Homo-oligomer: A and B are copies of this chain.
Amino acid sequence: MQLCFTEGFPLPQPSKSTVLDTFDRKILDILQRDNTTPQRTIGEAVNLSAPAVQRRIKRMTTDGVIQANVAVIDPDALGQAITIFVEVEVISETAAQIEQAKREFSAVPEVQQCYYVTGAADFILIIVVPSMADYEALTRRLFFGNNNVKRFRTFVAMDRVKVGLSVPTSTA
């Protein structure tokens, strides 16, 4: 285990232009919900033998279609109860400075998700902290201490209505 995760998923190389057939999609659909499902059970669900399922999973894993297998933890249980959204607007949008910002935001463990977006803001962060005091300290370090941050808007989550990373698998 010498992989260097900055925390969060490394978002590896873009998946090779793999063609996913109906079997693959059905398998992914199951794994997205519960990746502890036995391959035999998956096999029955999709009408395939266990080894066939296993080969497909292995292929999709090496191809980067399956990026990670993780447990989802209740933040409350860890005392990390507050989820916060931040829209960040930067002053200078040169490529170098954007990359710099990406690296800075990603490096913070409390930053669960970070997106570079178009629109009224440049970055959107999803942050999880134990208390508002911690968030306050974080803003001081991350935003006020960064002279390329023009403005940021904070939204505090009162309810995590739906949380997931599941992607619709339908061919639609």
Contact = CB atoms under 8 A, between A and B. Distances in A.
Contacts of A43: none
Contacts of A9: 72, 162-164
Contacts of A130: 172
B67 A32 contact: no
Among A15, A32, A35, A69, residue most surrounded by chain B Cβ atoms (within 10 Å): A69
A170 B167 CA distance: 30
B72 A165 contact: yes
A105 B69 contact: no
Interface residues of A, number: 78
Contact of A163 (B32, B34, B113): B113
Given A15-B77, A115-B160, A165 B70 contact: yes
A36 interface: yes
Interface stretch (A48-56, A119-127, A139-147): A119-127
A83 B34 contact: no
Contacts of A128: 167-168
Interface string A127-140: 01010000000000
16 contacts: A6-B162, A7-B166, A9-B162, A11-B160, A25-B78, A65-B73, A67-B74, A87-B155, A105-B161, A106-B162, A114-B162, A116-B159, A117-B156, A118-B158, A119-B156, A130-B172
Given A115-B157, A124-B155, 5 more contacts: A11-B160, A28-B71, A31-B73, A78-B169, A120-B153
